Amino acid sequence: MHRASDYLGEQGPFCQQVSGYQVRESQLALCDAIDETLAAGNVLAAEAGTGIGKTFAYLVPALLSGKKIVISTGTRHLQDQLFHTDLPRVIKALSVHSTSALLKGRSNYLCLHRLKLAPHLGFVNRETRSLLGEIEEWSTTTQSGDISQLGSIAEDSYVWPMVTSTVDNCLGGECDFWDRCFIARARKQAQLADVVVINHHLLLADMTLKNEGFAELLPEADAFIIDEAHQLYDVAARFFGNTVSSRQLISLAKDSIAEHVNEAADMGELRDYAEQLEKTARDFRLALGEAGLREAWHKIQYRSAVKQASGSLVTALQDLLAALQLAAERGRGLEQCYERAQYLMSCLNIFQQEKTVHETDDDSVAGNQSVLWYETHSKSFMLHATPIDIAAIFQQHTDNFSAAWVFTSATLQVNKRFDHFAHNIGLENYNSGVWDSPFDYKKQSLLYLPDNLPQPSEPSFTNALMQAALPVLQASEGRAFVLFTSYYAMHKAYDYLKQRLPYELLVQGDLPKHQLLEKFRQTENAILLGTSSFWEGVDVRGKSLSCVIIDKLPFASPGDPVMQARIDAIKRRGGHAFMDFQVPQAVIALKQGVGRLIRDVNDSGVVMIGDPRLKQKSYGRIFLNSLPPMPVTSDVAEVEQFFSDIPQTHKAVADAAQPVSG
C-alpha cells in the first residue's frame, strides 16, 4: 500500500477486520493530510466533523510513521477509550509491532508512601479504616496502581487523596517505596513506548515543568497529536498560572504532622504550627464570604476582615516554614514539606501586592501579566494568578520541541476560519483544513428558532422559552437535553416543566454526571436539564436523544474576572473585544452544544435555540454560519411534522449507511 489512507480504504484491512466499518472519503483525506504533516514535521489544524472517524485517521499514520508520538486527549475517559479500545484495534488491523503506553496524572495512581502515612493524616473513622484496608489489600496485587481499576471504591471518594500523591508531596527518588512506585513504572513504560496516550492536563503540566508526569517524555517525541484541541486554550491558561488553595495549605499542615510523627517526633512545635496554619486557612475561607463567588482579588483585598485574615494566614505559614527549615534535615518527608511551604509562601506573596495584575518573574514568559482573582466553595477557597494572554507562552513552550503538531477537533473554526483558534495558542506557520462530517444534516436534523421570545436579559425569558419548548418536547416525547447557561435558569425551567410534562426530569446535581447520563439512557422518554458540563464530551446515540434545546447563546459572563481582564487587554491594544474574542468563544461553545444531537449516521432530531439575537443581531449570522448545514424553521408545525416522520427517516438513513467506526 502506497498511502496511509490505503489501509482505511476498500482494499485495506479495516474493511475486513472491523465490524460495521465503512469507508469514508473525508476520513481517507484527513488520514493522508496527517501522514504528510508527520513526515514533514509541520503543524496542522484540522477540523474533523462529527462521525468522520478522526481517531483512526490519526492512529493509522501515527503507527505507520515509526516515530515517537504523543497523543493528548481532553479527558481521562477519552484516554481510556483510546488506549484500551481504539489503539489495540488499529495495531491489530495494521499488524504492526508498535508499543504503546498510557500515562495519567499522578493523582490517578496509588502512592505506597501516602498509604503508609494515611492513618496519621488526621481523624480516621471506622469507614475510612475499612477503605484503607481494602486499598492495602489491592496494593499487593495491582500491577499498574491505577485507582480506576479498584471499582469497589468510587473515583471521587474522599479516601483517594489520602493515598495518592501530588507534585507537592511526592518524595521522588528518595522515597522508600521508589523501587515499587507505580508512577515511576508508568513513566518508564511511556519513555520506552512508540505511542504514548496522555491528556491535556498532563501535557501542559509537563510542558511547564510542573512535574505532573516527567520532563523527559516531551523532548523525546517526534510528533504531538492534540485531540479535542478546542479545550487546549482553557487548560493552558490554568497551567501557565499560579494557584494557592485551602486544600494545598491544609494538606501541607496535615502532611507536616504526619512526617513529624514519622521522622521528628521530638519536635512538638511542628504540630503546633501546622495546626495553626490549618486553623488560619479555615478562618481565611470564612473571611472571603459566601460560597460560589468568583471575583477579582482587588475587590476584597482591602476589606478589614480579609486583610486581617490574610495577614494571619501569611504569619502562620511563615511560622511553619521556619520550623520546617530546622526540621528538614531530619528526613526527606520533612524536607519536602519545607519545599512545599516555600512555594506556597511565594504564591501567597503575589496576593499581598497592591496591584490588580501580577507581572511574572519567570524569564521564559517575561512581560506576561496575570489577573489576580479568587473563588469560594462551601468549605474551601482558591486564589489564582491567571495569564491574560497565553499565546506567547504556549508558543515559547512548543518551540522548545522540534516536532510535528496536529491539532484536531470537531469545533476549531469560527465563521469558516481558524484565526481565533490559532491566535489563542500562538500558531503562526500552520496548515489547516476542514473534513466534513459524513452525516446528512439536511435530512437528519432540523434547527428550530422560535419567534416572539423576549430578550434573554428579561426576567420573563426562561418561562417564555419553556412555554415555546413544550410543544417541541411533546412532539419529541421527551428524549431531550435542555441546556442552560446558568444554574438559576435550569432550576427555574425545572419548576415550570415538572407541572406540565408527564416525562421524567433529570437535573444536573441530583446525581454524579456519569450516573445521570446512564439513568437518562435507561429511562424511556427522559428529559435531562444541564449546564456547561453537558454541552460537550457527552455522547448519547440513538432514539434516546432526539432533541436538544439551548436557552441562550453561551457568552461567558463579562463579570468573570479573567474574562474582564482579557476584554480590557484587547481594548488597550485597540481591538474589538466583543467581536474578536467573546463572539468566537461563544460560537465554539454553541457548536459543542449543538453537536450533542447527531452522534451517529442513524440519529435524527431537532435543535431548538431560544435566543432571539441569532436573528436580530448582525453577529447572529456568524453563529449560524458556524453550525452544521441544518434546515432552519420558525414554525413549530414543521417541528411536529419532522418528529412524526422520524421512523421513516431512521429507516431511510439506516438503509443508506452503516455505523461509523474509528
The set of residues, in sequence order, having a beta carbon less than 8 Å from that of 420 and lying 6+ positions away, is: 414, 581, 584, 585, 588
Domain extent, residue 137, equals 109-180
* Cβ-contact 563, 619 below 8 angstroms: no
Among 215, 288, 605, 649, smallest CA distance to 448 is for 605
Is 277 inside any structural domain?
Answer: yes
Phi and psi torsions of 120, nearest 5°: -100, 5
Sorting pLDDT into bands at 50, 70 and 90, what band is 217? low
Number of domains in the chain: 4
Q: What is the pLDDT of residue 559?
A: 83
* Cβ-contact 25, 19 below 8 angstroms: no
- Rounded to whole angstroms, the Cα distance separating 57 from 23 reads 11
Ordered strands of the 480-483 beta sheet:
505-507, 527-530, 480-483, 547-550, 605-609, 445-448, 632-633
CATH of the domain at 626: 3.40.50.300
Please say whether the dihedral angle defined by the alpha carbons of residues 233, 238, 239 and 240, taken in this order, is positive or negative.
positive
Is 305 inside any structural domain?
Answer: yes
Q: What is the pLDDT of residue 86?
A: 93
The DSSP secondary structure of 607-646, one letter per residue, reads: EEE--THHHHSTTHHHHHHHS----EE--HHHHHHHHHTH
Task: Say if strands 69-73 and 195-199 run parallel, antiparallel, or are unpaired.
Answer: parallel
Cell numbers placing 55: 481517531
Same domain for 638 and 499? yes
Q: Which of 417, 435, 453 is the last residue of a domain?
A: 435
Half-sphere exposure of residue 225, counting CA atoms within 13 Å on the CB side? Answer: 28
Half-sphere exposure of residue 538, counting CA atoms within 13 Å on the CB side? Answer: 27
* Residues in a beta bridge with 45: 407, 432
Provide mean pLDDT across the span 448-465: 96
Cell numbers placing 38: 508527520
CATH of the domain at 315: 1.20.120
User: pTM of the entire structure?
Assistant: 0.87
* Cβ-contact 507, 529 below 8 angstroms: yes
Same domain for 160 and 284? no
Provide mean pLDDT across the span 223-227: 96
Same domain for 353 and 340? yes
pLDDT per position as a tens digit, 120-161: 776 678 888 899 999 999 999 999 999 988 888 887 788 998
* Cβ-contact 110, 164 below 8 angstroms: yes
Same domain for 140 and 257? no
Is 104 inside any structural domain?
Answer: no
Sorting pLDDT into bands at 50, 70 and 90, what band is 650? very low
CB neighbour class for 116 (10 Å; exposed up to 12, middle 13-18, buried from 19):
middle
Cell numbers placing 241: 498560572
Residue 173 sits at the vertex; the CA angle it makes with 197 and 114, to the nearest 5 degrees, is: 80
Is 662 inside any structural domain?
Answer: no
Same domain for 413 and 551? no
The set of residues, in sequence order, having a beta carbon less than 8 Å from that of 578 and lying 6+ positions away, is: 619
* Cβ-contact 68, 98 below 8 angstroms: no
- Rounded to whole angstroms, the Cα distance separating 83 from 90 reads 11
Is 186 inside any structural domain?
Answer: no
Which residue type, as a one-letter code, is found at position 160? W
pLDDT per position as a tens digit, 14-72: 988 888 788 999 999 999 999 999 999 999 999 999 999 999 999 999 999 999 999 99
The set of residues, in sequence order, having a beta carbon less than 8 Å from that of 41 and lying 6+ positions away, is: 222, 223, 402, 403, 404
Half-sphere exposure of residue 234, counting CA atoms within 13 Å on the CB side? Answer: 10
Sorting pLDDT into bands at 50, 70 and 90, what band is 259? confident
Is residue 212 over pLDDT 90? no
Same domain for 469 and 352? no
* Cβ-contact 553, 611 below 8 angstroms: yes
* Cβ-contact 409, 48 below 8 angstroms: yes
Same domain for 200 and 327? no
pLDDT per position as a tens digit, 557-611: 878 899 999 999 899 989 999 999 999 999 999 999 999 999 988 899 999 999 9
Please say whether the dihedral angle defined by the alpha carbons of residues 505, 510, 511 and 512, taken in this order, is positive or negative.
positive
Report the chain's terminal Cα–Cα distance, integer Å: 20
pLDDT per position as a tens digit, 509-548: 898 888 899 999 999 999 999 998 899 888 898 889 999 9
Is 507 inside any structural domain?
Answer: yes
pLDDT per position as a tens digit, 166-196: 877 788 888 889 999 999 999 889 989 999 9
Task: Say if strands 404-409 and 431-435 run parallel, antiparallel, or are unpaired.
Answer: unpaired
Query: In 10 A of CB 428, how many CB atoms?
Result: 9
Same domain for 568 and 450? yes
Rounded (10°) CA dihedral 27, 29, 34, 35: 110
* Cβ-contact 563, 556 below 8 angstroms: yes
Q: What is the mean pLDDT of the chain?
A: 89
The set of residues, in sequence order, having a beta carbon less than 8 Å from that of 532 and lying 6+ positions away, is: 485, 554, 589
Rounded (10°) CA dihedral 15, 21, 23, 27: -120
Same domain for 419 and 369? no
pLDDT per position as a tens digit, 292-343: 999 999 999 999 999 999 999 999 999 999 999 999 988 888 998 999 999 9
- Rounded to whole angstroms, the Cα distance separating 172 from 183 reads 10
The alpha helices in 368-512, defined as continuous H runs, are 391-398, 419-425, 441-444, 461-475, 487-497
Same domain for 321 and 285? yes
Same domain for 349 and 246? yes
Is 448 inside any structural domain?
Answer: yes
- Above pLDDT 70, what percent of the chain? 93
Region for 596 from its dihedrals, namely left if φ exceeds 0, alpha if ψ lies in -120 to 50, beta otherwise: alpha
Is 103 inside any structural domain?
Answer: no
Same domain for 466 and 518? yes
